[in-house]
Amino acid sequence: MVKLEQIAALVLAAGLAIPSYVFFWSLAGGGGYERRGLRENPPINELVEEEKEFLKDHPEL
């Protein structure tokens, strides 16, 4: 009878684990279903120019 209980426990564990695994990866955006696009970083020259303009407007810094 112990074998039957062990098999039932494994079936129950797998029955709970598989849907939760699929649900987790669908929420996390993983699993390869919807690939995320790559973000392009702005060129460093634009960032430097923005900093210069900001410092011109705020000389107390």
DSSP structure string for the chain:
-HHHHHHHHHHHHHHHHHHHHHHHHHHHT-TTSSPPPPPPPPPHHHHHHHHHHHHHH-TT-
Q: How far apart are the first and last CA of the chain?
A: 77
18 φ/ψ angles, rounded to the nearest 5 degrees: -65, -50
Please give the pLDDT value at position 32: 55
pLDDT tens digits for the chain (61 residues)?
A: 779 999 999 999 999 998 888 888 777 666 555 566 667 776 777 778 888 888 888 887 6
Structure-token match 């039932």, residue found? 8
